[in-house]
Structure 1
Amino acid sequence: MKEIFTGAVPAAGTGSKSSGSAPPAPAALAAKVRTLAPSMTRSMQRVAEAVAADPAGCSALTVTGLAELTGTSEATVVRTARLLGYPGYRDLRLALAGLAAQQQSGRAPAVTADIAVDDPIADVVTKLAYDEQQTLADTAAGLDTVQLGAAVAALAGARRVDIYGVGASSLVGMDLAQKLLRIGLIAHAHTDPHLAVTNAVQLRSGDVAVAITHSGSTGDVIEPLRVAFDRGATTVAITGRPDGPVSQYADHVLTTSTARESELRPAAMSSRTSQLLVVDCLFIGVAQRTYDTAAPALAASYEALAHRHTPRGNHR
Structure 2
Amino acid sequence: MKEIFGTAGAAGAAGTPGTSGKPGGLPGVTPPAPAALAAKVRTLAPSMTRSMQRVAEAVAADPAGCAALTVTGLAELTGTSEATVVRTSRLLGYPGYRDLRLALAGLAAQQQSGRSPAVTADIAVDDPIADVVAKLAYDEQQTLADTAAGLDMAQLSAAVSALAAARRIDIYGVGASGLVAQDLTQKLLRIGLIAHAHSDPHLAVTNAVQLRAKDVAVAITHSGSTGDVIEPLRVAFERGATTVAITGRPDGPVSQYADHILTTSTARESELRPAAMSSRTSQLLVVDCLFIGVAQRTYETAAPALSASYEALAHRHTPRNSGTTSRR
- Fold agreement, TM-score > 0.5: yes
Q: Deviations over 1:69-106 (max 9, x none)?
A: 11111111111112112222222122111111111111
Alignment of 1:1-316 (within 5 A): 5-6=18-19, 17-18=27-28, 21-309=29-317
SS in 2 for 1:209: strand
Between the two proteins, the alignment pairs up a number of residues equal to: 300
RMSD over equivalenced CA pairs, Å: 1.7
Question: Given residue 294 of structure 2, which amino acid in structure 1 is its aligned partner?
Answer: V
Shift of 1:310: 5.8
Q: 2 CA distance for matches of 1:127 and 1:42?
A: 29
Unaligned runs of 5+ in 1: 9-15
Unaligned runs of 5+ in 2: 1-16, 321-328
Q: 2 CA distance for matches of 1:309 and 1:64?
A: 67
Q: 1 CA distance for matches of 2:93 and 2:218?
A: 26
Q: 2 CA distance for matches of 1:98 and 1:146?
A: 24
Question: Given residue 5 of structure 1, which amino acid in structure 2 is its aligned partner?
Answer: G
Greater alpha carbon shift after TM alignment, 303-312 vs 71-80? 303-312
Change over 3 Å in CA distance of 1:274–1:309 after alignment to 2:
closer
Greater alpha carbon shift after TM alignment, 251-260 vs 53-62? 53-62
SS in 2 for 1:189: strand
SS in 2 for 1:237: strand
Question: Given residue 234 of structure 2, which amino acid in structure 1 is its aligned partner?
Answer: R
Shift of 1:232: 1.2
Q: TM-score if structure 1 supplies the norm length?
A: 0.91
Q: 2 CA distance for matches of 1:68 and 1:119?
A: 40
SS in 1 for 2:134: helix
Q: 1 CA distance for matches of 2:317 and 2:145?
A: 40
Shift of 1:134: 0.7
Shift of 1:122: 0.8
Moved over 6 A (4+): none
Question: Given residue 234 of structure 1, which amino acid in structure 2 is its aligned partner?
Answer: T
Q: 2 CA distance for matches of 1:96 and 1:307?
A: 55
Task: Quote the sequence identity (%).
Answer: 90
Q: TM-score if structure 2 supplies the norm length?
A: 0.88
Question: Given residue 176 of structure 1, which amino acid in structure 2 is its aligned partner?
Answer: L
- The answer to whether the Cα contact below 8 Å between 2:20 and 2:259 also exists between their aligned partners in 1 is no
Q: 1 CA distance for matches of 2:216 and 2:317?
A: 36
Q: Deviations over 1:206-228 (max 9, x none)?
A: 11111000001100001111111
SS in 1 for 2:316: coil
Q: 2 CA distance for matches of 1:251 and 1:22?
A: 18
